[in-house]
Copies of this chain bind each other. A is one copy, B any other.
Amino acid sequence: MEIKETRILKIGQIGCGTVGSGVFKILEENRQLIANRTGCDLEVKKIAVRDFSDPRYVEVPERLLTTSVEEILDDPETDMVVEVIGGIEPARSFIIRAISNGKHIVTANKELMSTHGEELLAQAEQAGVTIAFEASVGGGIPIIHPLKEGLAGNRILKILGIVNGTTNYILSRMSSENLPFQEALRQAQRKGYAEADPSADIEGRDAAAKLAILASIAFNVRVRLDDVYTEGISNITQDDIFFARELGYTIKLLAIAKNEEDGISVRVHPTMIPLSHPLASVHDVFNAIFVTGDMVGDLMFYGQGAGSLPAASAVVGDIIYVARHHFQGAKGIGCTCFDSKPIKDMGLTVSRYYMLFDVPDRPGVLAKIAGVFGENQVSIKSVIQHGTGSKAKIVLITHTVKEESINATIKGLEALPVINQISSVIRVEDTEGDE
């Protein structure tokens, strides 16, 4: 084996939890391989932890540990700071201080990058350092670097992402084992795929942060976490899963970003997609990001979106990227949000809609329902009545319309005495048969 001459890059790591211990493990186990591949010997000089006695997934020599973050941030020998504690503060302050001390940054922090990305990228630019954050989206899946460079010849039109493993696991269990939401959630918790308080996953906030990062890069327009319309999966029922399948769809929590003439649409919500769509085969905790470019057409990136080693693989990829540039006196790609475009109001976004009604099975019910859709200029693609008597259900799919028309239709339907209940309204991502 021919060994290249290597140069040592000194890393200060902040945090040694799930992702952090994975990073340490990879840098230990594959250190020689990485050095041979890249010419960079990546040395973890110090790891800041809250408490020496916290349990860790990997054995870390005590001489590497410190409880003083400043020992890393202010150390003149440290070339790069790897931040894997998550959350906004104190991560933000640590990174700002590291940047002002001329250190490169690698972070897995989606919350921070989706809220303070602009500020941090600007400061890195000014200080002449690189900040890389591949692990903030899609765990081990390479997606940020391909969007920033490999696909940079394309105008990116659309991103559809399954970027939260917890909710994808729950929806997969609901679908394959016909479980109600609460039971599928409990299974996810037992397997360690969902936290004791699962709300950040279930309510879509985790996916929204990742979407904000992806959309910012894909469309060159700064999109912040709060710009993303977010709806979770806790209202999805076994009926919805059943009727979706009957109609040739499956339900996924999709992170959707579209670059349209009149603005950018960014939203996370349960979505029906055709069973034939590549994303429909993405099961359990797997993630996938489906990207459409004007030149390249459709692409999909699939892999493990969470877990210690997959996320750490992305962090280490970033460390290698930054190290390679560092030793050449070059910089990685910085902020690319040079454009400005409005974020579209949710009422102005267009979609198809699936709706489920509880109705009494009486003559004229359908005519009255159809009348309300007609008044609001919402065209119906298909309608099926299931069951009879007082327990009948009507399943309906619209053609593509504006969300505000659907909202008006729902208001009109709520005033109809023939409807017992509007059980569900779910957006359908399917343009088949539209003009």
Contacts and interface: CB of A to CB of B under 8 A. Distances in A.
Interface of A: 1-4, 22, 25-27, 30, 33-34, 36-38, 134, 140-142, 145-146, 149-155, 220, 278, 281-282, 293-304, 307, 309-310, 312-314, 316-317, 319-321, 324-325, 328-331, 333, 336, 338-340
A295 B310 contact: yes
A4 to B, nearest CB: 7
A305 to B, nearest CB: 11
Looking at A37, A153, A312, the one whose CB has the most chain B CB atoms below 10 A away is A153
Looking at A296, A303, A312, A314, the one whose CB has the most chain B CB atoms below 10 A away is A296
Contacts of A301: 299-302
Per assembly, the copies of the chain total: 2
Given A34-B152, A149-B324, A302-B302, A2 B338 contact: yes
Contact of A146 (B4, B145, B153, B319): B145
A312 B293 CA distance: 12
Contact of A328 (B281, B303, B331): B331
Given A153-B30, A299-B140, A313-B296, A330 B333 contact: no
Contacts of A295: 22, 25-26, 30, 140, 309-310, 312-313, 316
Contacts of A155: 30, 33
Looking at A37, A304, A309, A321, the one whose CB has the most chain B CB atoms below 10 A away is A37
A338 B1 contact: yes
A336 B297 contact: no
A299 B302 contact: yes
B320 A297 contact: no
Contact of A142 (B150, B297, B314): B150
Closest 6 CB pairs of A and B: A153-B316, A330-B330, A140-B296, A142-B150, A296-B313, A150-B317
Contacts of A324: 149, 333
Contacts of A33: 155, 220
9 contacts: A30-B155, A34-B153, A140-B299, A146-B146, A299-B304, A300-B301, A301-B301, A325-B330, A329-B330
Given A296-B303, A309-B295, A338 B146 contact: no
Looking at A2, A26, A150, the one whose CB has the most chain B CB atoms below 10 A away is A150
Nearest to A312: B295
Contacts of A303: 296-300
A146 B36 CA distance: 17
Given A152-B316, A295-B310, 8 more contacts: A3-B338, A30-B153, A34-B153, A36-B339, A152-B320, A153-B319, A299-B301, A300-B300
B317 A297 contact: no
Contacts of A282: 278
A107 to B, nearest CB: 16
A285 to B, nearest CB: 10
A104 B110 CA distance: 36
A155 B37 CA distance: 11
A141 to B, nearest CB: 6
Contacts of A336: 37
A149 B302 contact: no
Nearest to A141: B299
Contacts of A316: 152-153, 295
A126 B295 CA distance: 34
A296 B325 CA distance: 23
A302 B304 contact: no
A154 B1 contact: no
